[in-house]
Amino acid sequence: MVPLNFYLVVSAILFSIGAVGVLVKRNTIVIFMCIELMLNAANLSFVSFSKALNKVDGQLFVFFVMVVAAAEVAVGLAIIVNLFRKFGSISVDRANLLKW
Amino acid sequence: MELFLFICFSIICIISALFVVLLKNPVKSALSLIITFFSMGGLYLLLEAEFVALMQILVYAGAVMVLFLFVIMLLDVKGPLKEEVYYRNRKIFTIPLVILFFVLLLVGFFSPLATLGKKGKFSSEWILSQGGNVKVLAEVLFQKYLLPFEITSVLLLVAAVGIMVLGKKRVK
């Protein structure tokens, strides 16, 4: 029986790696992957809490998070394709129309 | 045995997650992200969440990553971006990130979070006696969470329509 804290530590490490990636990378697709990584870290702590507390609600929340993440990825990648069509590059530095 | 498997899966998970950030080529990042998702599926299996583990492998390692690879191939991005060589404002990022990391680590490791709240009735023996993880999950999903489930389908419909709108060419 692995204690809950170990899972939480793994989840914390994965979330931090994802956060670093979002801030450091310039490639929009890789930034998206890092967002997925952060969502997955949150999912891991959901499931480990649902095991520790003997409830299944956490697993159902993971189900909903996955659905939302799938929708988000599909829309986001469509936006990236449009960005590439417009600027000819997928660097986030090029997408600065809304920057003040 | 369980601890051994946990350590194996989590080490694979963390190392391949590091590769996602460290590798310059987006295709390689995507492939190592697939490895991360697979080992997270293993972690879910260790937590006796079979349904979530299968969804993880089917939806994430399957569908989502195929979508990512498709877009990478479609956009034909060769190698690293030029701007990737230097990271501006590195110091501004580092300090809050280090703080975030240690706060998460401390909360995860030292706080007695598992003792918060009442324990539910869904212990692993009870789930086994009721016919398995998937059956129990389905019963809760279609009774307690029926409305959110239906709203999810609307969300997916909206996303599909949105992709159609974004993806089509502008016709003047």
Chain B positions touching A14 (Cβ under 8 A) are 13-14, 17, 36
Please determine, for residue B80, whether its predicted confidence score (pLDDT) is greater than 80: no
Q: What is the DSSP string of B63-91?
A: IIHHHHHHHHHHHT--SS-GGGG--TTHH
pLDDT band at B78 (very low <50, low <70, confident <90, very high): low
**Side-chain half-sphere of A97: how many Cα atoms within 13 Å?**
4
Residue A27: helix, strand or coil by DSSP? strand
Contact (CB, 8 A) for A47 and B47 = yes
Amino acid at B154: V
Q: How far off is chain A from B37, nearest CA to CA, in Å?
A: 8
Q: How far off is chain B from A18, nearest CA to CA, in Å?
A: 8
Q: What is the DSSP string of A46-93?
A: HHHHHHHTT-SHHHHHHHHHHHHHHHHHHHHHHHHHHHHHHHS--BTT
Residue with tokens 């492998």: B57
CB contact under 8 A, A34 and B114: no
Predicted confidence pLDDT, tens digits, chain A (100 residues): 778 888 888 998 899 889 888 888 888 889 999 999 999 999 999 999 888 888 888 899 999 999 999 999 999 999 888 888 888 777 777 777 777 6
Q: How far off is chain B from A87, nearest CA to CA, in Å?
A: 12
Quote the pLDDT of residue B85.
47
Q: Which of B43, B71, B162 sits opposite A29 (nearest CB)?
A: B71
* Candidates A32, A45, A50, A60, partner chain B, best to mutate (most B CBs within 10 A): A60
Report how far apart, in Å, the C-alpha atoms of A63 and of each of A22, B48, B60, B77, B160 are.
24, 15, 12, 33, 19
Quote the pLDDT of residue B166.
85
Please determine, for residue B127, whether its predicted confidence score (pLDDT) is greater than 80: no
Contact (CB, 8 A) for B21 and A14 = no
Calculate Rg over the CA atoms of chain B: 21
Quote the pLDDT of residue B11.
94
- Look at the alpha carbons of B41, A5, B124, B127 in this order and tell me if their dihedral is positive or negative: negative
Q: What is the DSSP string of B10-35?
A: HHHHHHHHHHHHH-S-HHHHHHHHHH
pLDDT tens profile B14-44? 999 999 988 888 889 999 999 999 999 999 9
